[in-house]
A = this chain, B = another copy of it.
Amino acid sequence: MASIRDVAKKANVAACTVSRVLNGSASVAEETRQRIEQAMKELNYIPNELARGMFKQRAGIVAMLVPSIRHPFFSSLADQIEKELYQQGYKMMLCSTGDDIAREREYMKTFRSNIVDGVIMGVSNLKDEEYEAFQKPLVMLDHKVNEEIPVVVSDHRTGGILAAQKFLEGGCRNIIHICGLDAPEVLSFQSHRALEEILSARGVQVKAVEIKWSNFDFDGYLELAKMILEKNPEIDGIMAADLPAVAFLKAARQIGRKVPETLCVVAYDGTYVVDTNLLDITTIVQPVKEIANRSIGVLVDLLEGRPAKPAMNMLEVSLREGNTTKSRIPS
């Protein structure tokens, strides 16, 4: 690999002059510049980004940590994030934890070693102190650590409210909510709070069933869905992420439950998984593009020393009405 000094030697100048040509950082005589450019071409020279990054204290890479890369929500989000980063001149390092805490901790440690400039945390199972001790710019998704570390989050409370309305309109009395792990900092749990608040007030039962996001396996979801529906025939409403929601629809069909007549289903996320379904699924849609845009906006501002935006970034969700819920109950 040709280095800047090889180029310098070939062009009969000092290394610093080559550097000046590379960066346009100072004036170089036209004749010298041409000689240097010629030498670079002949040696097929490409500057070593590691060395550059060492000096600049910048790697040009942002890490994103998610529970699973193939999960449709996270792969859609990573896709958008990579596009945003590309536009801002950064590359994306994408890592998954499989919801394994040790792995999350290990990756966080790696990220501190100057190999990335900042991190988007799409998973957060460590203790708050561990995020606070992280000395680089960090953007948390769906998880509030403190007033300092920026968070980007969908308005899950509204998501819960919109879903609750659908269940009420459908006359449902027993709802199951398939959700992520419960923890006060996990903001997506707000949807559950809202759901419970509204529905309990009307005497509707709401039960949470927790599952992990990683290592998702559709057949597992399907079995779970069948079991739940068979053991609890009184269940008449389901809220779940796209994939488990679809599993419930498939299970319902297999055991002969009519949707939406005797079972209302609301999917949560709005990835392409709901689009591919033969049914038109009622869905709470998270604004993936805006989440990516805001996350990278906030992170890059931090990285490049621009004034910090507010730490809390809440983005609107929307309801897409399908026919897995009833529009109005005949009274």
Contact = CB atoms under 8 A, between A and B. Distances in A.
A113 B45 CA distance: 9
Given A69-B79, A113-B47, A94 B92 contact: yes
Contacts of A68: 79
A316 interface: no
Interface in A47-74: 47-51, 53-54, 59-61, 68-70, 72
Copies per complex of this chain: 2
Interface in A265-279: 272-273, 275-279
Given A47-B113, A49-B115, A50-B115, 6 more contacts: A48-B113, A75-B75, A82-B94, A218-B275, A243-B276, A253-B278
Interface of A: 1, 46-51, 53-54, 59-61, 68-70, 72, 75-76, 78-79, 82-83, 86, 91-96, 98, 103, 109-110, 112-115, 135, 218-219, 243, 246-247, 249-250, 253, 272-273, 275-279
Contact of A54 (B46, B50, B277): B50
A146 to B, nearest CB: 19
A92 B272 CA distance: 25
A75 B82 contact: no
Nearest to A136: B1
Which secondary structure dominates chain A's binding surface?
helix
Shortest Cβ-Cβ A-B pairs, 8 listed: A75-B75, A69-B79, A70-B79, A218-B275, A49-B113, A94-B94, A49-B115, A48-B114
Given A48-B113, A114-B50, A94 B70 contact: no
B272 A250 contact: no
16 contacts: A46-B109, A48-B113, A49-B113, A49-B114, A51-B114, A53-B115, A72-B75, A75-B75, A75-B78, A91-B93, A91-B95, A91-B115, A218-B275, A218-B276, A243-B276, A273-B276
Which of A49, A82, A112: most chain B CB closer than 10 A? A49
A70 B75 contact: yes
A83 B54 CA distance: 28
